[in-house]
Structure 1
Amino acid sequence: MIPEFALQLICGLSTVWCIAPRSQITSGFFRIQMLIALGLSVLLFLTSNQFPTPHVNEQAVSQLVAGTSILFGLLAFSGSVAWTLERRKGGTVFAYLLATSSTVTLVTVATLLSANSTESSATVSTITLPAIAETVSAAWLIGSVTSAMLLGHWYLTATGMPLKPFTQYNVIFLVAATLRMGATLFAYSSQGEVGEASWGLLTLRWAGLIGPFIIAILTIRILRYRNTQSATGVLYAATTLVFMGEMAANLIEQSYAIPTQL
């Protein structure tokens, strides 16, 4: 569960950096974000052998994740240096490189784990697409809510920043929440069943989907009144819901062998 979370968060954060506005946000925010990605890269390297791969792809997944985690760390460290020196173009380049490499790694690992979960090659093609959709949408949701929450916290110190970037970050969060619900429904419909998971886990899982969607809308409305502190507090609750929901989804998958996400 730990390496899945670290890899998805690296991918999600770096993707948000690329699609969100950067010109109106001070460089210090991105420097800290890069350092967070650096710490996650170290965590990913240390736990690279903990992916749930009980069959033939175990060594391939571990080696891939260990190798790419070193690359992620180098890119994140170089990016933090660039943002510290106010080299915004250089920092943006490292953000794109990190987003691209982490997304490719995430998709590759999802494919290997999907192939690992079935013995029929005909079934692999059916399972792989939902698995990729689930894990990539989970990464976007985790990354967007975390990045939006941290940006809201950044407004407490960088009080002179315009409000527009914060609103745009929450719009990205809303889109990610919508895509995550769609990917989950697609995966469940592709499987035909979701296992006999407990009501507690299922409730927590769907609370982690519906709750953040509602909170994203509420946060955008709160920002119309320029109340960044209240918006940040609400985003803390959304972050907690997302993390708990994705943890529940992971537990459901591991307990009932549902091969739909990392």
Structure 2
Amino acid sequence: MISQFALRLLCGMSATWCLMPRGDVTCGFFRIQMLVALGFAVAATLFAQSLPAVEAGTAALSLMEIRIAAGLAATMCYLGSIYWTLARRRGGGICAGLVCGLSTTALLGSLPRSVYESVQSALLHIGSELASSWLIGGAFTAMLLGHWYLTAPMMKLRPLEILNRALGGAAILRGVVAVAALLQLSSFSPNDTQVIWLTMRWLCGILAPVAAVVLVRSILRYRNTQSATGVLFAAVILVFIGETTAAVLSRDLHWPM
């Protein structure tokens, strides 16, 4: 599970870098982001054998191929940190795109080969992984960007506002995918424990980040980035709880939740 969450964070963070207005954010933020992502990439490489499908020997890509993709992502993170240190925005942006592509390849390659046997199954599993990645990585990056305003208080609010809206979109998309997955489990009759997990999954992982987005939007009207960051920090914790319970349910039911 460590490698799976590391890959999701890496994928979501790098996708957020590519989508956000990088020109409005100081280079130091991306340098630190690259170093944080480097840690996740190394963790994903070292613990790739713990991925569920890899353990079962059913992954779409081999263990070596997943490790190569994650290792290359780590290399790009290191090179990106150098580019951002030197304020070479174009090179840093290219590295961010490569990290996103490599981490996505490793993440989707860690899914069982059986999910790609039908278009419907492939779309559901791929959508679940990408939505989860966007939600986790988007919340984490938005929270760290909020902290960055403590060192760059004169920075425009536009990047944080965009990341906050993106977080809301990610939470809604995650909810849509979760509903689609539940509707296809026609014979699913949850026991008491699974009802508790499902409740935590929806309250913490989907509804809570939507509520956090509304609060942050209101707080940013007064340029109070510290309070907004506190709300985003709480959202990150709740999203982690929600996605952890979803991972537990998915492993028990062998179906994306």
Q: Give the TM bin, normalised by the shorter chain.
A: over 0.9
Q: 1:133 aligns with which of 118, 127, 141?
A: 127
Q: Is the 8 A contact 1:223 1:231 kept in 2?
A: yes
- The residue identity in structure 2 corresponding to 1:8 is R
For residues 187 and 91 of structure 1, the distance between their equivalents in structure 2, rounded to whole angstroms, comes to 37
- Name the CA distance, whole Å, in 1 between partners of 2:38 and 2:252: 31
Identity of aligned residues (%): 39
State the TM-score, normalizing by the size of structure 1.
Answer: 0.91
Aligned to 1:214: 211
Per the alignment, in what secondary structure is the counterpart of residue 52 of structure 2?
coil
1:72 equivalent to 2:73? Answer yes
| Residues 52, 97 of structure 1: alpha-carbon distance in 2 compared, 3 angstrom cutoff | same
Cα distance between partner residues in 1 of 2:3 and 2:188: 24
Question: Given that residues 137 and 176 in structure 1 are in contact (C-alpha distance below 8 angstroms), is that contact kept between their aligned partners in structure 2?
Answer: yes
CA contact (8 A) 2:3 2:48 kept: yes
Cα contact 1:219–1:235 (8 A) shared by 2: yes
Aligned: 1:83 with 2:80: no
Deviation for aligned residue 1:135: 0.6
Q: List per-residue Cα deviations over 1:132-180 (Å, max 9, x = no partner).
A: 1101100000011000000001111111211111111101111111111
Whether the 8 Å contact between 1:35 and 1:77 is mirrored in structure 2 is yes
CA distance in 2 between partners of 1:193 and 1:247 (Å): 24
Given the superposition, is the C-alpha separation of residues 77 and 193 from structure 1 closer, same or farther in structure 2, using an over 3 Å criterion? farther
Aligned to 1:35: 35
For 2:152, the aligned partner's letter is A
**3-state DSSP of counterpart to 1:225:** coil
* Two-structure CA RMSD over aligned residues (Å): 1.8
Residue deviations 1:87-113, cap 9 Å, x none? 011101111111122223323323536
Task: Answer yes or no: is the 8 Å Cα contact 1:170–1:216 preserved in 2.
Answer: yes
The CA deviation at 1:60 is 3.9
Per-residue Cα deviation, 1:38-60 (whole angstroms, up to 9, x for no partner):
10011011110001125442594
SS in 2 for 1:49: helix
Q: Residues 90-129 of structure 1 correspond to what in structure 2 (within 5 A)?
A: 90-110=91-111, 112=113, 114=115, 124-129=118-123
For 1:172, give the aligned amino acid.
A
Offset, 1:184: 1.0
Q: Distance in 2 between matches of 1:113 and 1:239?
A: 32
Taking a change above 3 Å as real, the CA distance of residues 160 and 39 of structure 1, as seen in their structure-2 partners, is: same
User: TM-score w.r.t. structure 2 length?
Assistant: 0.92
Deviates more, 1:146-155 or 1:50-59: 50-59
Unaligned runs of 5+ in 1: 116-120
CA 1:252–1:24: 2 relative to 1, 3 Å: same
